[in-house]
Amino acid sequence: MASTRKDLPVIRSSKAVAWSGLLLALALAYVLGYFIQRDRNVRMAAAERQALALAEGTARLLHLELRNLERAMGGIAGDAQQLFATVPEAAPQLLSESVAGVVSRHAELQSIVVVDRNGVAITRGVGVSIPDDARRSTPRGGKRPLSFGRLQRADGEWVLPLLMPMDGGRWIVTRLRVAEIQRVIGNLDTGKEGVVTVVDAQGTVVARSDGAGRYIGKRYADLLGASDSARVIVRRSAVDGVERISARLALPEYRLQVSAGLGTHETLHDWYLLLAVAGSLYLLYCAAFLYLWRHLRRSARAQGGLLLEVNRAAERLRLAQQVGKTGTWSVRHPGAEIEWSEQVSDIMGQPDDRSRASSEEFFAMVHPDDREQLQQRFAESWRTRQAFVTDYRIIRPDGEVRWIASRGGAFVRGDADPTMAGTVVDITAEREAQSRLLDTERRYRLLFERNPLPFWVFDAQTLRFLEVNEAAVRHYGYRREEFLAMSILDIRPDEDSQAVRLSMFGVPSDEGETWRHVKKDGSVIDVRVYSASITYDDRPARLVLAEDISDTLAYERELHYRATHDSTIGLFNLPGLKAWVRQQAPTQCQLIYIQLRGIEPVIDSLGQAVATRLLDSIASRLEDLAAQWQGAIAFVPAEAFVLAVPGTPAMEGVVDALHLAVTQPVEQGGSVRTLEAWLGWAECAEEGFDATASKAALAAHVARAEGTVCRHFRADMATAASDRLRLIGRIHQALERQEFELHFQPITRVDEARPASLEALLRWPQAGGGFVPPSQFIALSEDAGLILPLGEWVMEEAMRCQQRLAREGWDDLPIAINVSPLQLARPDFADRLIRLQQRHGLPRGALHIEVTESVLLDRPDRTVQTLRQLQRNGICTSLDDFGTGFSSMAYLHQLPLDALKIDQTFVRGVTDDERSAAICRALISLGHNLGLTMIAEGVETEQQLEWLRRHHCDQVQGYLIARPMKMDALLDYLAGIPLRNAH
């Protein structure tokens, strides 16, 4: 006790010093912390302002750059829209040349391409996938919205696609070089750790002021989250792991985000020095205080050292038992209470203050299934003094069952009574893990054995099968015993043995591999193999699942064949020929386009099957020729072939052989059929297969138009075709704007000089005066399919003029309109014309039609039927330009005609050319014998008129009588002629 009282002043002194020093340390820490924190806040605020300025400046620069590009693209889009509206067929070429100049003047642009609604390039260049958000974008203030595609690499550099919609579903795509954006931010002063980053709406890095090559094109979702106004945050970058003070700003118009960050460590570099100095002063104070306090406490610690060591040892034992879920128990003698440690109470779910129980109470806690066994172990240990180890279950008060591993035994110390003691360990987790392992093994066995796909395990070293499932036995035809006596090489073709051994050194692919396997019957199948390395019976092995994909691969081959071959006759289609040229003749080849005529009449008269056999015969001849030149042939439905010949052969011989092969008669079912053919050829150029095929086709069309067998493509053909397309576009516009007008030329009776009828002549006036000659636009309208709407307009306008004539008293003066063979070939032509006549309320005989002899060349029977239907409804028919065609007299006799018009080429020479006079006399006599009215065209002199009167020609038409005139002028002309019913 004296010693204790002696130490008390020391303890009290040390406590007083400790409290005083602690209070002083807290005050000093507060003061230093306040000023240090204030300095840090000032530095961070300055850095935030600098980061904000960098972000806003970069955003303004980008906004200016993109706004200029947007305006330029808007201008190009407007030009493109005008070109597509005026010259749609030539627009891609013209637009390609225009944007090429723009790209050449702007180094920041990689390309400008116009694409269709599916992203396929219309002009020269590469197409692009149109993002869904771009399709949903709406115009801003009447302007076309600018959208962005995904960042991509082109020609070894990063480019950013900019998309602007155009009318008609087209898009203009400008690829901006990322190097331009990189140039904008590359020279910004951000310090050593600072960085300026530009990302798109998906978080993909578009440009970065530091380490651009490593990060551009990568996506970081952490970089998203900017708004219209700048927002400053401090966080560690997910890109390079550097903590920065970052200002983020969004460019909502262009779906870009700018992030400008300054390195936190660099910003606070001087502050860290200040912190180190302050910390050093504080630590110096603390060290001095600790030295004093430890000196005072040394003696106090010596007093409590022994007790502390004892407590520590007890605590270590308690912690060891707690961590190991281990407790101790003891029984002083048989029948005595069982005592246990705190850990046992925790394991058994007993209250902390309960540490003993009678034998009956303890065994009542044991699971009924394990109770008798545990009682026997206790009894045997009391009897034999031997140790025991046993596992049993206990039931906690909350009903939870836990597994216990108990180790113990009875022993005797000297003359004392026997005592039993031991330990218990909670092994519930181990037991549950073992149960899960057994359950997993059972499920795996079930999955392996019942799997519908072949499954096996083979030794990774010997390659011998270790286990197979029933599906493998069924699919491959081997019995299980046979499989287990084989190696993996036995189900592989001999030539694959080396590949199998090499594959054992690699890592199995998660996507599987395609191999060939041999079944017991010798058949070879294609399989997709999925494998994994496992340990089986303590040795390395491979677990393999094999899926038979033979049918799938066969289906894919069939799809590929259908994609590259024509289903009608089995030849290549154009995509298939294009692929062949790319593989077999990538450097130089010739394309010959063979245009046929004569297939459609065979289809119409004899059916598709006969036409297909005819095409097969022609295709067989062409294939033989293609094989001689190491070339390939493709079929272009429904009447064209394209031949690719590698190298530079003598094209004259090639063309002659092809023309002979195509036009040589084909015998079918006792009849002989001959086709017409025109050929065009062109050399494969840099613009590629498609452009060359178009050139060859154009050359063939030119050959057909000129009546020659073959033409070699020349640049002026494209120019002429472009002019034709331009004129077709103008015809479209003229139809929409109602630019056409009808002029009328009177046809008079020879005997009384009165108008018998009027011929309606189509005219196309021009704004600057003059007219486009009908010879230029009528035939072109027929080729372009515009003659039908043009003819509809002529019929409507002629009937309106007929109504006007009737109102002026000339209801007995019919109007004759010229009808194209394409109009007359329509099955519903007669019905349409009759309905129009009825709708306008025209009487019978008020409308005439004029046809040429060419209508007899195609389906004469249908033509006769149509004309008869018109005649029954009071619509007369004249045969125009009679004598210049190749009409059959038999058809002429059958045609329900009302008049024949003698062509002006014969009328012009009746007074001074005996042959022309003889032809005219014969034609007039023929017409009169057929009961037809004879009309002479092109009468320009009194001598011609007098000759025609002497030879009894019925009616005349020409400049001598009257020139074609508008309706108003016609009415003035007719005003000088008395009406029939005038008094």
The pLDDT, as a whole number, for residue 8 is 47
The pLDDT, as a whole number, for residue 983 is 37
The pLDDT, as a whole number, for residue 967 is 93
- Bridge-based pairing state of the strands 338-340 and 147-148: unpaired
Residues 571 and 450: their CA atoms lie apart, in Å, by 47
Pick the more confident residue, 190 or 618. Answer: 618
For helices 774-784 and 787-807, angle between their N-to-C axes, nearest 10 degrees: 120
- Assess whether pLDDT exceeds 50 at residue 2: no
- Assess whether pLDDT exceeds 90 at residue 322: no
Residues 618 and 613: their CA atoms lie apart, in Å, by 9
Q: Which of 97-111, 209-223, 573-587, 806-820 has the highest mean pLDDT?
A: 806-820
In this prediction, residues 921-940 reach a mean pLDDT of: 93
The pLDDT, as a whole number, for residue 885 is 56
The helix/strand/coil state of 281 is helix
- Assess whether pLDDT exceeds 90 at residue 176: no
Contacts with 119 (C-beta within 8 Å, 6 or more apart), sequence order: 127, 128, 129, 130, 171
Instruction: Give me the domains of the chain, ranges plus CATH numbers.
Output: 48-265 (3.30.450.20), 326-432 (3.30.450.20), 451-553 (3.30.450.20), 565-713 (3.30.70.270), 738-976 (3.20.20.450)
Residues 631 and 593: their CA atoms lie apart, in Å, by 14
858-872 CB burial, b ≥16 within 10 A, e <16: ebbeebbebbebbbe
User: What order of strands is seen across the sheet that includes strand 231-236?
Assistant: 205-208, 195-200, 256-263, 243-251, 231-236
Beta partners for 593?
A: 642, 680
The pLDDT, as a whole number, for residue 933 is 94
CA 210 to each of CA 60, 674, 977: distance values in angstroms, whole numbers, following the listed order: 20, 74, 95
Whether residue 874 contacts residue 845, with contact meaning beta carbons closer than 8 Å, is answered with yes
Q: How confident is the model at residue 309 (pLDDT cuts 50, 70, 90)?
A: low
732-761 CB burial, b ≥16 within 10 A, e <16: bebbeeebbebbbbbbbebeeeebbbbbbb
Whether residue 329 contacts residue 339, with contact meaning beta carbons closer than 8 Å, is answered with yes
The pLDDT, as a whole number, for residue 680 is 93
pTM: 0.42
Q: How confident is the model at residue 39 (pLDDT cuts 50, 70, 90)?
A: confident
Query: Cβ atoms within 10 A of the Cβ of 442, count?
Result: 10
Tell me the one-letter amino acid at 265: H
Residues 641 and 503: their CA atoms lie apart, in Å, by 48
Q: Which of 541-555, 583-597, 638-652, 933-947 has the highest mean pLDDT?
A: 933-947
In this prediction, residues 105-132 reach a mean pLDDT of: 85
Q: What is the pLDDT of residues 733-764, one digit of tens each?
A: 888 989 999 999 999 999 887 899 999 999 99
In this prediction, residues 431-454 reach a mean pLDDT of: 77
CA 418 to each of CA 329, 336, 409, 415, 566: distance values in angstroms, whole numbers, following the listed order: 15, 11, 10, 9, 102
The helix/strand/coil state of 499 is helix
Q: How confident is the model at residue 639 (pLDDT cuts 50, 70, 90)?
A: confident
In this prediction, residues 49-69 reach a mean pLDDT of: 84
- Assess whether pLDDT exceeds 80 at residue 120: yes
- Assess whether pLDDT exceeds 70 at residue 138: no
Q: What is the pLDDT of residues 704-719, one digit of tens each?
A: 878 888 999 888 887 7
Residues 666 and 674: their CA atoms lie apart, in Å, by 6
Q: What is the pLDDT of residues 454-486, one digit of tens each?
A: 988 999 889 999 999 898 899 899 998 999 999
% of the chain beyond a pLDDT of 70:
91
Q: What is the pLDDT of residues 324-381, one digit of tens each?
A: 567 888 888 887 888 888 888 888 888 877 888 888 888 888 999 988 888 888 888 8
Residues 31 and 964: their CA atoms lie apart, in Å, by 111
Planar angle of CA 810, 811, 813, nearest 5 degrees:
70
Query: Cβ atoms within 10 A of the Cβ of 14, count?
Result: 20
In this prediction, residues 147-160 reach a mean pLDDT of: 84
Tell me the one-letter amino acid at 781: S
- Assess whether pLDDT exceeds 70 at residue 624: yes
Planar angle of CA 830, 835, 836, nearest 5 degrees:
100
Q: How confident is the model at residue 93 (pLDDT cuts 50, 70, 90)?
A: confident
In this prediction, residues 377-402 reach a mean pLDDT of: 88
Mean pLDDT score of the chain: 84
Q: How confident is the model at residue 890 (pLDDT cuts 50, 70, 90)?
A: low
